Chains A and B, each alone.
Chain A
């Protein structure tokens, strides 16, 4: 824990995508040491459960820092965004990309990032952090080739920096939290002490991997999904441009209708 004087603060604020899991917690702890204001944002959609875990983790973070104002936190729904990403031009995409349309985890996280992008533009925040780690690179949103690099480019288009500060520390995250004193035990992930938002539909992505991975090398898996997600990013960019006023002639209503509080 660092005192406010010890913190090497940048004159900036940051939005941290926060699920309450170990990776999110370590990211939030690092963010507190770097930024004046840290806004934790947890995205919700149908089927994400145990929001109380997230609230408990936010309270624990504030207590750990000894600063009740250390973090702001809010929940934001993204049902409309992910529904759009899942079903836009559905039959055409089904023909073109086949079962890649069932890579639910990546599409879900893409909706989270899309909402984060709009939140940054609404509130003038220029930095975004998330707890992606290389060791989870099978997930599209934690894979540099599939989504991380395109996401970084998408954010930078609007003057926002997206960073993954613990990307290379995936396997050491639990140890770090233990040594920092945030956790009282070394092993937390996958135990009852892993207090985070739970996705009750992760089985869909597991089934997608079960079907999709065995017939391909990992490089083929990455390349195939990268093409699919590149199209999704293009659509996001187009709608966000309209919404942000870069192309006012096209109208901004389409994205505005999908942004929930």
Chain B
């Protein structure tokens, strides 16, 4: 495996990568406010574990909610992402291996954007 970081070797690398991926995928599954709140909680847990343990006992429903969202992600959006990642066309440079054709002119990006407003 090509790497220029110390995290790129051995079992430690596998754990670092997979745990990082799990948290990245979960964050991608969350809407805006919830994503920030979840990250705030994660930051809290990592930096103040004793205080966060007390919070967990007080509000376990928040944690259940996070777990549920994670499951939804993995069977939904996560599955789609994995399909695109591994079942897509394998020809051409790595960055171009996707389900989607190159959109070409950036002027095409606004299609459907009005729907959001």
B81 close to A210 (CB less than 8 A): no
B98 close to A96 (CB less than 8 A): yes
A211 close to B100 (CB less than 8 A): no
Which range contains the number of A residues in contact with the other chain?
35 or more
A207 close to B116 (CB less than 8 A): no
Q: Which 10 A-B pairs have the closest CB atoms?
A: A210-B20, A211-B20, A201-B39, A234-B106, A214-B8, A207-B23, A47-B36, A211-B21, A200-B40, A102-B24
B43 interfacial contact with A, CB 8 Å: yes
B81 close to A213 (CB less than 8 A): no
Note all chain B residues with C-beta closer than 8 A to A216. Answer: 2-3
A214 close to B24 (CB less than 8 A): no
Interface residues of B (CB under 8 A from A): 1-5, 7-8, 13, 16-17, 19-21, 23-25, 27-28, 31-33, 35-37, 39-40, 42-44, 46, 77, 80-81, 84-85, 95, 98-100, 106-107, 109-110, 112-114, 116-117
When the two chains form the complex, which single residue of A46, A79, A238 contacts B109, counting CB atoms closer than 8 Å?
A: A238
B33 close to A224 (CB less than 8 A): no
Note all chain A residues with C-beta closer than 8 A to B100. Answer: 92, 95-96
Contact with B along A239-261 (1 / 0, CB 8 A): 00000000000000110010000
